[in-house]
Amino acid sequence: MAARALLDEEGVGAISMREVTRRAGVTHQAPYHHFADRDSILAELVAQGFDELAQRLAQARKGGQTPLQCLSASGQAYIAFALDQPGTFRIMFRQDLCDPLRHERASAAGMRAHQPLQQMVVVAYGQADAQWAHMHWAQAHGLAGLLLDGPLGQQLRTPVQRRRFVREMLDTFAAQMLATTSAPLTASS
């Protein structure tokens, strides 16, 4: 999609109906058959991003993995998505760019992408627990952000360096989390 390439190359500020039309090589009115406005294009990019992320997370969780392998593989899939689709990743969690109340498809895709995260916690800890899910999500999301837009991206320049660092960090974090608890957190913890 022309909009995704534009987003990755030039950022969200470059997305306009006119530029997407020009890049796609279609008539000026063609996008209006599918999208009402720029916000609708962004919402579609967000929905597609969440759908792809959900697929990657579900794939990472397949197989007879140990809890440690499941947690690490899921985090690696999350970060790999962010690094592979940087423009999309940067807008997926920005409600100022895609209001979930206005764009139901994007909102539903976001909820679908959260399901593999919850299932990962069940595999790792034996039961669903929102706090554990949020802790692992925050860890992977934070690493992704630091690699995309922070100092880690400057320090670790090659894909091989980044993958190795991510794997080591996620393995260490997951091992510590699994070792420090024999039961999921509760609201009173």
Show the CA angle centred on residue 93, arms to residues 122 and 184, nearest 5°: 20
**DSSP characters over 106-125:** HHHHHHHHHHHHHHHHHHHH
Model pLDDT, residue 64: 67
Most confident range, picked from 3-12, 44-53, 93-102, 117-126: 44-53
CATH architecture for residues 51-180: Orthogonal Bundle (1.10)
How much is the pTM? Answer: 0.86
Of 112, 76, 106, whose CA–CA distance to 91 is shortest?
A: 106
Show the CA angle centred on residue 69, arms to residues 87 and 116, nearest 5°: 50
Give 143-167 pLDDT, tens digit per residue: 999 999 999 999 999 999 999 999 9
Residue with more model confidence, 154 or 32: 154
Rg from Cα positions in the chain: 18
Q: Is the pLDDT of residue 43 over 60?
A: yes
Model pLDDT, residue 60: 92
User: CA–CA separation, 24 vs 155, rounded Å?
Assistant: 36
Residue 12 contacts residue 86 (beta carbons within 8 Å): no
Q: Is the pLDDT of residue 128 over 50?
A: yes
Most confident range, picked from 21-35, 122-136, 162-176: 162-176
Domain limits, the chain:
51-180
In this structure, of 93-97, 131-135, 167-171, 182-186, the range with the lowest mean pLDDT score is 182-186
Over residues 55-60, the mean pLDDT reads 94
Q: Is the pLDDT of residue 3 over 70?
A: yes
Q: Is the pLDDT of residue 102 over 80?
A: yes
